Amino acid sequence: MEHVPCNLCGNTESGTLFTIKERLSGKDEFNIVRCGKCGLIYTNPRPSKEEIIRYYPENYEPYKFSMPKALFRGGPGVFGKTKDLIKKKLLNVHYGYFGKTPDSGIFGKLLKMLTTPLMYHFSLIFPEWKERGKALDIGCSTGEYLHWLKELGWETYGVELNEKAADWARKKAGLDVFTGALGEADFPSGYFDAATLFSTLEHLADPLAALKEIVRILKKDGTLIIEVPHLLLLEGRLFKNNWSQFEVPRHLYHFVPQTIEQMLLKAGFKTVIIRHSPHINFFTSTIQNILLKASHGKPSRLHSLLNPDKNRFLPYALSPLNFIFWAINRTGRMVVYAKP
């Protein structure tokens, strides 16, 4: 275990907010602390580089060793075709894909605002269209998002620390993926039009250094997109160990809007826009954790009903609640857009 200073300001003084058990084994406990100077929230002390590996088992959920699903899946009948048409229209309205420049007037802005929840429902988080654009996905795992970018016409590159996941992406999915840390890849300066960090920044031992490297390799008009958990302190205090956002020690940093913006600005980004993803899966996952504990680890029927992978109607049933939480910025995930 190692004690670390604040990654944002270097301060060594902090106060403990929570002491949380590691969820997969239920044995080890870790402190989540807040910097006394800048307010950055992080796990401290934490496992060293050598120790952290054992907290990422081979069956860790993000490592999906299966062929990536197509972005436009078709599917049987009118429903599948309609779904693909909606996706294409959303990609056009929000990002300019499929040849037509989005309306920048009042009507276009209103259409974007009204369709934003639907865009997040379909997980359509992409950079704006760039002809012959180069995109880098950092922490790409087995390459599902890279596959989607490629489907949309991007020249794609990936970086992945897990050797098995990176090897699978190269050999099975035919993707260009570097195995190792971002700084080791040695990409040329000003090379990429877009970079993405989905559920990755919170896992990095030195997120500030990674963001500085992204500033270097992005073009001057490039864009970084980050999707990261939004730590909700009130809910954390209420649910404690059951709160699904507490993914220690895999999550080394726990961001709120103020600290993610501060870190991006310090890294050299000039423009930062923070939006909230209208999903409340963190809430249903928390209820699942409570149910599992009550049933001594045996999933109940209600537990299965709250699993969106098993109950495809759940996201639709929760849509009104999703919209309310999104409207008051109390969702569990932030989507951050930054430009150097």
| Distance (Å, whole) CA 334 – CA 329 | 9
Q: What is the mean pLDDT of residues 300-308?
A: 57
220 domain residue, yes or no: yes
pTM of the predicted protein model: 0.88
Structure tokens at 140: 């790409």
Residue 2 DSSP class: B
Mean pLDDT of 95-102: 81
CA distance 9 to 188: 28
Structural domains in the chain (count): 1
Per the domain annotation, does 147 fall within a domain?
yes
pLDDT at 296 over 60: no
In CATH, what number is assigned to the domain containing residue 146?
3.40.50.150
Over 80: is that where the pLDDT of 256 sits?
Answer: yes
Over residues 317-334, the pLDDT tens digits come to 666 666 666 666 667 789
Evaluate whether residue 160 is within a structural domain: yes
Cα distance between residue 199 and residue 277, in whole Å: 13
Confidence of residue 114 (pLDDT cuts 50, 70, 90): confident
3-state class (DSSP) for residue 174: coil
Write out the residue range of the structural domain in which residue 161 sits.
124-339
The answer to whether residue 51 sits within a structural domain is: no
pLDDT of res. 108: 80
pLDDT of residue 301: 62
Q: How far is CA 268 from CA 218, 261, 280, in A?
A: 11, 11, 32
Which residue matches tokens 């999906």? 64
Instruction: Give the rounded percent of residues in the chain with a pLDDT score beyond 90.
Output: 55
pLDDT of residue 310: 59
Q: Is residue 198 part of a domain?
A: yes
Q: What is the mean pLDDT of the chain?
A: 86
| Model confidence pLDDT, tens digit, residues 218-229 | 999 999 999 998
What mean pLDDT is predicted for residues 163-184?
94
Q: Is residue 335 part of a domain?
A: yes
Q: Which helix (H) or strand (E) holds 34?
A: strand 29-35
Tell me what pLDDT residue 331 has. Answer: 72
Which residues face 254 on adjacent strands?
A: 41
Give exposure, 247-258, as e/b (b: 16+ Cβ within 10 Å).
bbbbbbbbbbbe
* Residue 20 located in a structural domain: no
Contacts from 158-161 at CB under 8 Å and sequence distance 24+? Answer: 159/185
CB contact set of 144 (below 8 Å; sequence gap of 6+): 64, 68, 69
- The residues pairing with 339 across neighbouring beta strands, listed in sequence order, are 271
Which pLDDT belongs to residue 80? 78
The percent of residues in the chain predicted with pLDDT above 70, rounded, is: 82
How do residues 43-95 score in pLDDT, each as one tens digit? 999 999 999 988 987 777 666 677 778 888 766 677 778 888 999 999 999 99
Please check whether residue 81 lies inside any domain of the structure: no
